[in-house]
Amino acid sequence: LKQLFPEDILNISEGLTDGEVEFLRQLVELLETKYRPVVNQAWVDAEVPKGFFEDIGKLGYYTNPLLFEGREGKKQTSQLFQFFFAFTMSRFDVSLNTLIGVHSGLGFNSFLFGGSPEQVQKYVPKLASHELRTCFALTEPDHGSDVAWGLDTTARREGDKWILNGAKRWIGGASVADLIPVYARDEETNKPKCFIVKAGQEGLDIDIIENKIALRIVPNANIHLKDVVVDESDRLQNINSFKDIAKVLYSTRAGVAFMATGAMAGALQATLKYVTERKQFGKDISNYQLVQEKLAMMQANVTSAMALCSQIARQQENGDYNEIVTSVGKMINALRLRETVAMGRGICGGNGIVVDYDIARFFSDAEAVYTYEGTHEINALVIGRAMTGQSAFN
Ligand code: FAD
């Protein structure tokens, strides 16, 4: 375990089962042997490395028997494992974890929580095995933080069909998804609903947002919907209010806290490598006290973030998906991530802005983590609302 998670000085990983540890060991081996040599160039080229989805599918993130050893009767992987999976993936690369996250988190849970029993049976096993890929299409060009307040995409019912019109922005993985859960406002009732739009459907147009400075490996898309027809049978039956959408959002927001923690550890890993290779004034820069203070702060940030995440995971394992706790986790870990990557980037000097040294990738990617799944301010307002009983959103 020390070799697999050297930054885990609280020994939180001791709570993982042997099967989970073995799975994570295999994951690290795959990432280090196959993807380490290509990840920086993939980031520069803004391309998903070849074979990535297939490899993750084969590893069986949801289905590998290793993850169910000692969990008889449990249908889901443990939350502590979910934390360590996101941690391990993000420690390697935040884009790759985000790509898995939009499929396995927001996308998957739209079906799992939003689908009728028949819809769950029809789609969830294929999504779990990665036979079908999905994403999550909520944000719009004119509505980001206030998407609950103003969803412009509309759905008009005509008999057994719905006609969708509107646009979405920032949708991660939409261009590689088979099924796109599109959130739209019912023209008649004004209530939000969710519709399964299929890749290649008439009236669906997808273009990739170019020139991003963060998460370059993730293809984020603009989606245009012009009279797209969806059957009532492909409307996710249990999503009928923003509260229902919030359930999906809050189920995965903690995942961003997990991811931010892994990204801090990735920045630390890259920085530790650099300080033992770079000499100034005749010595490795790791010798200098001012450098060590920053390394210590980076480690302290990782440690406190890991402690917070493990407690969130424990609560979730007991079925408590607490809205305030997840907002606290997302808000503070994303903030600490920004601080941590900046310290690492500084320690790496000029080379810290060159992608080849890894730290630049974490430095840039932190900016996206800071913004998505609720910006710092929006999460603060969720927490503030709970603390004061006053909603700043009204
Ligand atoms: P805005 O909402 O325009 O906010 C701009 C600024 O105003 C922010 O600092 C914000 O905090 C502040 N602000 C807004 N309202 C208030 C207020 N009331 N009080 C104080 N400050 C306020 N969405 C999806 O649906 N699916 C995806 O897969 C997806 N992936 C994403 C991937 C990336 C890389 C990024 C960057 C975004 C992604 N998003 C996705 C969208 C993301 O959730 C939004 O970017 C986010 O909600 C913020 O919206 P916005 O960018 O429109 O910013």
User: What is the reported pLDDT for 149?
Assistant: 83
Q: Which residues of the chain have a pLDDT value below 50? A: none
Determine whether 280 is exposed, middle or buried from the number of CB atoms within 10 Å of its CB (0-12, 13-18, 19+).
Answer: exposed
In this prediction, residue 160 carries a pLDDT of 97
Give the list of residues 6+ apart from residue 102 with CB closer than 8 angstroms, or none. Answer: 134, 135, 136, 172, 173
Q: If you compute the radius of gyration of the chain from its CA atoms, what whole number of angstroms results?
A: 21
Q: In whole angstroms, what is the distance from residue 312 CA to residue 257 CA?
A: 9
Site residues for ligand 1, CB cut-off 6 Å: 102, 135-139, 144-145, 170-172, 215, 220, 368, 371-372, 375, 377-378
Tokens of 170: 């920032």
Give the Cα separation of 338 and 368 in Å (integer): 10
- Position 394 scores a pLDDT of 72
Ligand 1 centre distance from Cα of residue 107 (Å): 18
Residue burial 112-143, b: 16+ Cβ < 10 Å; e: rest: bbbbeeebbeebbeebbebebbbbbbbbbeeb
Looking from the CA of residue 139, the nearest atom of ligand 1 is: 25
* CA–CA distance, 222 with 310 (Å, rounded to integer): 35
Determine which residue's CA is closest to atom 35 belonging to ligand 1: 372
Threshold 0.90, pTM exceeds: yes
Closest CA to 95 of 216, 222, 13: 216
- Contact predicate 184/158, CB 8 Å: no
Give the integer Cα–Cα distance in Å for 319 and 369.
25
Decide: residue 149, CB within 10 A, 0-12 exposed, 13-18 middle, 19+ buried: exposed
Residue 206 in tokens: 């997808």
Q: How many CA atoms lie within 13 A of 332 on its CB side?
A: 15
Pocket test for ligand 1, best of 103, 153, 371, 385 (most atoms within 8 A of CB): 371
Distance between Cα 104 and ligand 1 center (Å): 21
Q: Which two tokens stand for residue 89?
A: 């993936």
- The values of phi and psi at residue 154, to 5°, are -115, 155
Residue nearest to atom 34 of ligand 1 (CA): 368
What's the confidence (pLDDT) of residue 63? 79
Ligand 1 center from residue 382 Cα (angstroms) = 14
DSSP characters for 186-225?
A: ETTT--EEEEEEETT-TTEEEEEPP--SS-TTS-EEEEEE
Reference 170, options 119, 132, 219; nearest CA is 219
Q: How far is the CA of 372 from the centre of ligand 1 (A)?
A: 6
Residue nearest to atom 23 of ligand 1 (CA): 139
